[in-house]
Amino acid sequence: MARPLAERLRPNDFDGFVGQEHLVGEGAVLRRMIDGGRILSFILWGPPGTGKTTIAKIIANRLKRPFYTLNAVSSGVKEVREVIEKSKSSPLFSNGGAILFIDEIHRFNKSQQDSLLSAVETGVVTLIGATTENPSFEVIRPLLSRCQLYVLKSLEKADLLRLLQHAITTDEELKKRNVQLVETDALLRYSGGDARKLLNILELVVEAAACSPVVVTDERVVECLQQNPAAYDKGGEMHYDIISAFIKSIRGSDPDAALYWLARMIEGGEDPAFIARRLIISAAEDIGLANPNALLLANAAFDAVMKIGWPEGRIPLAEATVYLATSPKSNSAYMGVNSAIETVQQTGNLPVPLHLRNAPTKLMKELGYAKDYKYSHNYQGNFVKQQFLPDGCDFSFWIPQDNAAEQKTKAWMHQCWGDDKPFSK
């Protein structure tokens, strides 16, 4: 049985490697290290199909050192320790020890990652990790500190086109079918910058063709795949990147960008409840008191989506998105509670003033609980000055911002407190 096209085209050296010029191009940092014959432990972080495994295999070919490969999905501490013992007993240990390549290293739990620490630190093994997830979240700090981190990028259009041409002109199986690339937009769109996916799609289209020559068109690619080109891994890096872009577009008052990222999530199959929850958070964090109705509308959008389902649920989501993006912005409540929490962490459990305490028993009343408390509604304007913070404290957390709603609130606070409170001045 013939190997898959992506495997047949995997290069053995960097001369045939496509993309990642910032790492493996002439004079680039990783290329220089490999050409020098010695490498330090490092982690390759990037989307699928960007060359992480290929880089590791090229290193194995170049350095001629014992090379072990583990997949974090199927391997555990036992397999890691076996590799470490083999490396210690290798006659080539004095030349730098074995290279251990761990694919999907983010799937290793803490104890599995801990088992690598000593061997990496002492040079028993040189670790090459590959991950599609952010190492800051998935790799323990002690291991991350012992490794260099190199970020791989999705392949650009020019890289993908170069790879396609290389495939149809050098692969013996494809040359037999006389593949003609009439249109490539669908190939590029479905691949999403993933070289392996691109080659898999090309191979599928070729194998589905009844005769030669094989004419590749956008229509033919779509017909063969019959899937959503915008879909993405809802648990992966793109999931977090797109929701981040969505929220930042709302915060930046760009309704067009916000709708674009909303559409990306809709077309990608994102959970509508997840989008709706993020809108509620954005309404409270970024619009806040500048337009309190934003929180009401975002919450109503969430309820509407839960009631009417999909695909009509996209409409209230879009309404809330545009409303939030075009609303005046304030994070005064968000900043205020963060400041208050920081103060509480620094000052601890300060006692509640006696007059603010609850007094459900006779003894508590005799001890002065609730004594001299002034009930606001008994006073003109439903307000009376009194102490509400702990004794001796003059904390200030809420700072009204420069928008119509909060300036109106500030005026009311000044009417109540005069200059006694910083936010009312």
Claim to verify: residue 367 and residue 401 sit in the same structural domain? yes
Range of the domain at 245: 237-326
Per-residue pLDDT, averaged over 322-331, amounts to: 93
Residues 66, 126 within the same domain: yes
Domain final position from 99, 121, 151:
151
DSSP assigned state of 283: I
> For the domain that residue 124 is a member of, what is the CATH number?
3.40.50.300
> Has residue 6 been placed in a domain?
no
**Please, which pLDDT band fits residue 62 given cuts at 50, 70 and 90?**
confident
- Last residue of some domain: 225, 250, 274? 225
Cis ω for the linkage preceding 91 (within 30 of 0): no
| Residue 369 banded pLDDT, cuts 50, 70, 90 | confident
User: Do 27 and 139 share a structural domain?
Assistant: yes
Taking alpha carbons only, the member of 159, 224, 156, 213 closest to residue 181 is 213
Cite the DSSP H helix spans in 209-292: 218-225, 237-251, 255-267, 272-282
Residue 403 included in any domain: yes
pLDDT band at 324 (very low <50, low <70, confident <90, very high): very high
- Length in residues, the chain: 425
Q: Which two tokens stand for residue 161?
A: 């086109």
Relative to beta strand 179-181, strand 214-216 is parallel
User: Would you say residue 96 has pLDDT above 70?
Assistant: no
In the structure encoding, which two tokens stand for residue 424, read together? 């009312």
Alpha helices in 123-171 (DSSP H): 135-138, 141-145, 157-170
* Whole-number average pLDDT of the chain: 84
Residue 336 lies in a domain: no
* Mean pLDDT, residues 345-350 taken together: 84
Residue 337 within a domain:
no
372-384: per-residue pLDDT in tens? 888 888 888 888 8
Question: Cα separation of 191 and 229, whole Å?
Answer: 8
Position 263 in a domain: yes
CATH of the domain at 270: 1.20.272.10
Does residue 122 share a domain with residue 38?
Answer: yes
User: Per the structure, how many domains does the chain have?
Assistant: 4
Give me the percent of the chain exceeding a pLDDT of 70. Answer: 94
Tokens coding 359:
């007094």
**In contact, 19 and 193? CB cutoff 8 Å:** no
Q: Same domain for 141 and 174?
A: no
Question: What's the token pair of residue 330?
Answer: 């304030």
269 and 217 in a single domain? The answer is no
Q: Does a structural domain hold residue 420?
A: yes
* 186 and 260 fall within a common domain: no
| Helix, strand, or coil (residue 100) | strand
pLDDT, one tens digit per residue, over 98-121 is: 888 888 888 888 888 888 888 888
Strand order of the β-sheet with 42-45 is 67-71, 98-103, 125-131, 42-45, 148-151
Residue where a domain terminates, one of 124, 151, 178: 151
Domain assignment of residue 399, yes or no: yes
- Classify 194 as helix, strand or coil: coil
Residues 191, 213 share a domain:
yes
Question: Are residue 45 and residue 146 in the same domain, yes or no?
Answer: yes
CATH number at residue 210: 1.10.8
Verify that 144 and 164 share a domain, yes or no: no
- What amino acid is encoded at 261 in this protein? W
How much is the pLDDT for 304? 94
Whether residue 211 is found in the same domain as residue 242:
no
Whether pLDDT at 227 is above 60: no
pLDDT at position 235 is 52
Same domain as 140, residue 161: no
Do 187 and 203 touch, CB atoms closer than 8 A?
A: no
Q: Give the side-chain half-sphere CA count within 13 A for 351.
A: 6
The answer to the question of residue 307 being in a domain is yes
